[in-house]
């Protein structure tokens, strides 16, 4: 029996989750994961703060599972980390190790039963798994598990990974050997933190599509932390050690950290959108903050697509570093043109029809006196459907701008993601059905330019072949089964 606290029903009564019109005009991340082995510390509270720092990666549900010897204590629910947990709940989660998760659903609907960590029983005890990414062979894996009479209670691929490990362990394998055997049956993107009675695992798929980092706590003996990003380490005072490598499993126990390269043909293909948009700007990748990379994107845009204007500003918050870089390279003054209401989140109160029609002002409000009669350059990181961008341009027009020039710090998104980003079917992606000129006309901007694919990759200052950019090119590093491909790749060829 697994102790749980259940505070709400399965259904989450927020219509914005399923409303096409209300969804942000951005790709949305799958989730954030966290893991820690630190018997001398309050692991539940440290995990809470780690998830708090990773909240941007998923806002639908959150959960923590702690291990106290063979006993697992867990709590998970729908909502933000700060809504799901409080001091009293964290006090009910004792233990020497923990794994945590904050979720945005990609495989499996937005219901409490699909919240993670996924906890399953094995012959060696309970296992708790938190997953960032998306498998592409879920149909085959599900059939294999059902044949072995596993009772799948969720609709997530994450639960299938947990049961695949249980299947191998129950057949006689130890934790590490069983996990490695299970991972060879999984295809797609998976960065995992896994809790067991003996220790914590951190795992990445052979392409390392989703990030996972290792940190150390200033303690004797040395203790280890796992997180999707370094910002999840910073908040608890852990020092960044290194990334978990593609195709690597790290096993953290009382004796320290062991590394197993479980896949011998690993080829790094980190999702480039992690660098452009998903990860927090203060997180480290390639020995620098992503803020620095995003500023370089802006400088590159200024070189590729110059324009005469009076003011440049970014769409808060993700467009701001690129806007600063654009300003520095172009000599156009940087300023704030939009103010973000940082307390707009999920609400159970539906706006009026009039508010919905001008809904952009609920989150972003133009500074009319700053913008009036100005030629402005507005910088954003991406356009997916174009719905929000059009409302934003109209709000700027209403504020009295003379000209609106839009610059996007990534190439046109022409293909859906199958590896853990929630994107629409291809026919819903504006750049898959329209040319740049047609998009500019629909958005009602005076000019529109995207950063080139080559410029985006060159600006990383890394091996340009070490990134997945399938959403811009359709070149998927992991083969997509035909049935899954047909569900999203509706068009044969993108226009742009």
pLDDT in tens, 105-147: 544 445 677 789 999 999 999 999 999 999 999 989 999 998 8
Using only C-alpha atoms, what is the Rg of the chain?
23
10 is in an annotated binding site: no
Q: Which pTM value belongs to this model?
A: 0.90
| Residue 123 CB burial class (10 angstroms; 0-12, 13-18, ≥19) | exposed
Please check whether residue 367 is in contact with residue 396, taking contact to mean a CB–CB distance below 8 angstroms.
no
381 is in an annotated binding site: yes
Please check whether residue 349 is in contact with residue 301, taking contact to mean a CB–CB distance below 8 angstroms.
no
CA 143 centroid distance within chain? 28
Average pLDDT, the chain: 89
The predicted model gives 290-315 an average pLDDT of: 98
Backbone phi and psi for residue 178, each to the nearest 5 degrees, phi listed first = -65, -40
Closest C-alpha to 278, from 364, 369, 209? 209
User: How many C-beta atoms surround the C-beta of residue 422 within 10 A?
Assistant: 19
pLDDT in tens, 157-214: 999 999 999 999 999 999 999 999 999 999 999 999 999 999 999 999 999 999 999 9
Confidence of residue 1 (pLDDT cuts 50, 70, 90): very low
Length of the chain: 496
186 is in an annotated binding site: no
Q: What is the CATH number of domain 32-269?
A: 3.60.20.10
Please check whether residue 131 is in contact with residue 88, taking contact to mean a CB–CB distance below 8 angstroms.
no
Cis ω on the peptide bond leading into residue 117 (within 30° of 0)?
yes
In this predicted structure, the answer to whether residue 155 has a pLDDT above a threshold of 80 is no
Task: Say which residues have a Cβ less than 8 Å from residue 455's Cβ, sequence separation at least 6.
Answer: 297, 300, 301, 304
CB environment 228-244: b (16+ within 10 A), e (fewer): bbbbbbbbbebebeebb
Query: Can you tell me the distance from the alpha carbon of 224 to that of 200, in angstroms, rounded to the nearest whole number?
Result: 9
8 SS3 class = coil
Backbone phi and psi for residue 302, each to the nearest 5 degrees, phi listed first = -60, -35
pLDDT in tens, 408-428: 999 999 999 999 887 778 988
pLDDT in tens, 435-486: 999 999 999 999 999 999 999 999 999 999 999 999 999 999 999 998 888 8
Does the active-site annotation cover 186?
no
Query: Can you tell me the distance from the alpha carbon of 226 to that of 214, in angstroms, rounded to the nearest whole number?
Result: 5
Domain boundaries, given as residue ranges, for the chain: 32-269, 289-341+352-473
91 SS3 class = helix
Q: What is the CATH number of domain 289-341+352-473?
A: 3.40.50.2020
417 is in an annotated binding site: yes
In this predicted structure, the answer to whether residue 346 has a pLDDT above a threshold of 90 is no
The pLDDT of residue 150 is: 82
Please check whether the two domains, 32-269 and 289-341+352-473, share a CATH topology.
Answer: no
Backbone phi and psi for residue 128, each to the nearest 5 degrees, phi listed first = -125, 125
318 is in an annotated binding site: yes
Catalytic residue among 17, 30, 31, 129: 31
Task: Say which residues have a Cβ less than 8 Å from residue 289's Cβ, sequence separation at least 6.
Answer: 281, 282, 283
67 SS3 class = strand
Query: DSSP state, 466?
Result: G
Closest C-alpha to 236, from 68, 402, 46? 46
| Strand-strand pairing, 188-195 and 200-204 | antiparallel
Query: Can you tell me the distance from the alpha carbon of 36 to that of 43, in angstroms, rounded to the nearest whole number?
Result: 7
In this predicted structure, the answer to whether residue 300 has a pLDDT above a threshold of 70 is yes
71 SS3 class = strand
Cis ω on the peptide bond leading into residue 352 (within 30° of 0)?
no
In this predicted structure, the answer to whether residue 271 has a pLDDT above a threshold of 60 is yes
């Amino acid at each position: 029996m697994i102790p749980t606290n259940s505070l709400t029903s399965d259904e989450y009564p927020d219509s914005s989750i399923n409303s096409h019109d209300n969804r942000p005009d951005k790709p949305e991340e799958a989730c954030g994961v966290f893991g820690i082995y630190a018997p001398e510390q309050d692991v539940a509270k440290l995990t809470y703060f780690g998830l708090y720092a990773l909240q941007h990666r998923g806002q639908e549900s959150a959960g923590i599972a702690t291990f106290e010897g063979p006993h697992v204590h867990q709590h998970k629910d729908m909502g933000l980390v700060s809504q799901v947990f409080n001091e009293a709940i964290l006090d009910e989660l004792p233990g020497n190790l923990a794994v945590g998760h904050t979720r945005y659903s990609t495989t499996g609907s937005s219901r409490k039963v699909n919240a993670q960590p996924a906890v399953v029983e094995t012959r060696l005890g309970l296992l708790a798994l938190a997953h960032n990414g998306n498998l592409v062979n879920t149909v085959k894996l599900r059939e294999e598990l059902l044949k072995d009479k596993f009772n799948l209670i969720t609709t997530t691929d994450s639960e299938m990974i947990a049961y695949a490990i249980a299947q191998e362990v129950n057949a006689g394998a130890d934790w590490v050997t069983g996990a490695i055997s299970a991972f060879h049956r999984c295809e797609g993107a998976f960065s995992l933190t896994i809790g067991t009675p003996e220790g914590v695992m951190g795992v990445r798929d052979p392409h390392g599509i989703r990030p996972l980092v290792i940190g150390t706590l200033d303690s004797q003996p040395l203790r280890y932390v796992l997180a999707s990003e370094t910002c999840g380490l910073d908040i608890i005072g852990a020092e960044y050690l290194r990334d978990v490598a593609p195709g690597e499993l790290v096993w953290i126990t009382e004796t320290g950290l062991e590394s197993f390269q479980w896949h011998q043909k690993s080829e790094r293909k980190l999702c480039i959108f992690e660098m452009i948009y998903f990860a927090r700007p203060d997180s480290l990748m390639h020995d620098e903050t992503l803020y620095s990379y995003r500023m370089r994107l802006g400088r590159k845009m200024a070189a590729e697509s110059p324009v005469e204007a009076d003011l440049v500003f970014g769409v808060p918050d993700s467009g701001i570093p690129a806007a600063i870089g654009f300003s520095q390279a172009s000599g156009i003054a940087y300023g704030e043109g939009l103010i973000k209401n940082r307390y707009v989140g999920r609400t159970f109160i539906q706006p009026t029809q009039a508010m919905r029609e001008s809904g952009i002002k609920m989150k972003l409000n133009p500074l009319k006196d700053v913008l009036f009669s100005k030629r402005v350059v507005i910088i954003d990181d991406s356009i997916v459907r174009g719905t929000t961008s059009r409302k934003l341009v109209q709000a700027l027009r209403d504020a009295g701008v003379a000209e609106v020039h839009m610059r996007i710090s990534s190439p046109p998104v022409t293909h859906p993601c199958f590896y853990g980003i929630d994107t629409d079917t291809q026919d819903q992606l504006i750049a898959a059905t329209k040319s740049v000129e047609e998009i500019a006309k629909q958005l009602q901007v005076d000019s529109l330019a995207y950063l080139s694919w080559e410029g985006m990759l060159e600006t990383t200052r890394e091996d340009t072949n070490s990134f997945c950019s399938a959403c811009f090119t359709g070149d998927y590093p992991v083969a997509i089964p035909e049935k899954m491909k047909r569900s999203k790749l509706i068009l044969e060829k993108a226009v742009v």
